[in-house]
Structures are given as structure tokens and as C-alpha cells.
Amino acid sequence: MIDLTRHPRLLWFFSFTERAKNSVLRRNRGGTQADRNLAQFYDKIWRDAAEEIGAEIEDLGFGVLEIRLSDAVTRVQFNTTALDDLATHCIARTKPTIYKLLERDGLPIPRHLPFGMDELSQAAAFLDSATTDCVVKPGSDSGGGAGVTTGIRTRWQLALAAKAAARHSSDLLIEEQIPGDNYRLLYLDGELLDAVVRFPPRVVADGKATVLQLVQAANEKRLREGARQSHGLIKIDQDMQRTLAQQDLSLASVPKQGKTVTIKTATNENSAHDNVTVRHLLHDSVIAAGARAAALARVRLAGVDVLTTNPSVPLEECGGVILEVNNPPGFYWHYHKRDGCFPLAVPVLRRIFEDHTRLHDSHPTAELNISSIG
């Protein structure tokens, strides 16, 4: 088999057929409806939050809402708010920079290497030296699990994963895959508001349908039930194919009746049933590490992703790591989970208007126009 890591230009050609196949398999005709469902979710939570604090709200179109409380005005767009500025947002999405800040402070992170498409040989050398499977992802300008491929073992898989990630960013990142579950710790100004374990998306086989048909059925259910079921559709990509392969399955496989099949390793496209509150399980040092990560990234509203096999002990004791500092964090996982709801938009709005009050009290003649970065 050709080593595509030695021939980056050939990679563009060979991956074209992979993209075409995925385009056919994805059959994402419901994408527009899924986008509408997500927009309706954010519209509802902001309206509910505005009512909770006694504020007025106006729809400016395209997902932009203007919220007024007395003489203070702020705007939001989906999960984007005025709490963090544009520079903070962009830097938080530059993963190698965040890793550098965390590592410099002594926080545990995965062993990793930034690279570009013209540096695939360096990524291949990293893969060869790794003692575990690896993950390839966009290094910047991306979020929500887009372009992430897990379970990489061969140079061929590395090449295809790099091409998938390069659709989202010219900066790429390869890192060792850390065992454990994904914990999303939510902070506002350093205070832990909520913590959720996010299990990956799964389907249960009926003994008749192929994996592809099971995924399509799951997506149809998501479209019908909206945010009650999930915040988006399950997309067919490299991560799905690698995750299935590790279970000796493919999209054409027909698993035995009752078998639970993990569809992806990346958790971003899971369902409401896959999210569970775990704040009571977290060791104090894990909470402190997440808060420190958010502070180092200078993010006020932060979703800190932690990978660990045991959240009740310090990360260093079980090989756990801090994976990402997300800004803005997705709100969905905190509203729709197996064991309840944390209405995140309420404390966010309260904090924004508290900021206005503090600024007004310290500068009575100043006028404040709090606006979205989006």
C-alpha cells in the first residue's frame, strides 16, 4: 500500500473518492431541519432566561436576540455571548497554544504534535513513536468535533484523517489517544456551574438493519423529536469508520440483535440520553485543574473537557488529561441530560447585567453597549 504521508499531493487525489462516498452515505437531507431545531433550542432557552430575570427580548433575525434589562442591553446569537471577547474566542480555538499554556503551568495534557499537510512525515514519525492509538484533529478555527478522527494506527489512516481535518483548518494536530470518558466541566469566572459526562453516540441493533440503516433511523428520530433527542445529526465521517472498525464492524455490517454499537468515539454528536450529571463525582483537584485551565486561557465562560478513567481521583493518578478549553461552550449538554437540566442561560444573563451594573457604578457617565462577538 502506498504511504500517503510521503506523497501529500497524491493524498488529495485518493481522498477525493473517500469524500464522494461519504457524501453519498451521509444523505444529510435533514441538515436544514436539524439547523432549525438547534436554532429553536437556543431561542427558547434565551427567552426562558430573559423571563426568569425580568428582561425584555427582541428577535433581530438570523438567531440574533437583543435582551434588555433596565438601561442595559446585550445581544446573543445561539451560544455566543458578550462575556468573552473575539481575541479570547480565537485563541481558545487554537489548540496548540492552549496546550502550551497548560503544559507550562504543569497541567496534564496529551502528548501531541502540531503539523501541516506538507509535514505529514513528521506526523507519521509521531505515530510510529506512539504507544497508543492516535487522534488527528484541526489545530485551530474549528470546534464541535468537526474533522476529528480517533483510533489511528497506520500511516494510511493518518493520511485520510489529516485530509479530513484539513477541510476545517490548515493547522493540524496529532495526539496520543487517552483512555477514559469525556467530562465537560462548565465554569463561569472560575466557578464550576455544572459537570457532565458525555458518552459517545450509540445505537442498538435489531438483528436486521445494517449499521448505516441504524444511523439513518437514529437521525430520523432526531429530526422528529428535535432538542428532546439531540442537538444535531450523526454525520458519517472518518471517526465513525475508525470507531466501527475497532469493533470489527463497518457501515454494511448487520450486528446481532440487542448489541449496542458505539458509532463514534468523539462525543459531540451524542444524544440527550448520553449526558449525565457528575459534579458530585469530581475530585477537588480535578475541579481546580479545570478552573486553572479556564483561567490560563482567560476564558470567562468555559467548557473544559477532561479525559479520565476515574474523576474521583487526581488526574495525575489515573493518567487523565485536560483535552480542550471551549469558548463559547455548547449549552445543549447542560440542558438535555439523562438526570435533569441546568439552565445555563440564566446565570449567563445575570452575570452580563451584573457587569453592566458594576461598570455603571464605577463610571456613572459611561454608556455601555454590550454586544455579541458573533
Which sequence spans correspond to the domains of the chain? 180-200+271-342, 201-264
Q: How far apart are CA 93 and CA 72, in angstroms?
A: 29
Residue 341 near residue 228, CB atoms below 8 Å: no
Rounded mean pLDDT for each run of 10 residues along the chain, 374 residues in total: 62 48 47 90 98 98 97 97 96 97 98 97 98 96 92 97 95 98 98 98 98 97 94 95 97 98 97 97 98 98 98 98 97 96 98 90 55 37
Strand stretches in 63-205, DSSP E = 64-69, 72-77, 112-115, 134-138, 149-152, 172-176, 181-188, 191-198, 202-204
pLDDT of residue 365: 52
pLDDT of residue 360: 72
Residue 333 near residue 82, CB atoms below 8 Å: no
Q: How far apart are CA 78 and CA 82, in angstroms?
A: 12
Amino acid at 359: L
Closest CA to 275 of 202, 222, 197, 210: 197
Grid cell of 122 as nine digits: 513528521
pLDDT of residue 122: 98
Buried/exposed code over 21-54 (b: 16+ C-beta within 10 A; e: otherwise): ebeebbeeebeeebeebbeebbeebbbebbeeee
Residue 263 near residue 243, CB atoms below 8 Å: yes
**CATH no. for 180-200+271-342:** 3.30.470.20
Backbone angles phi, psi at 195, to 5 degrees: -145, 130
pLDDT of residue 26: 42
Cα separation values, 344 from 153, 175, 326, Å:
39, 31, 15
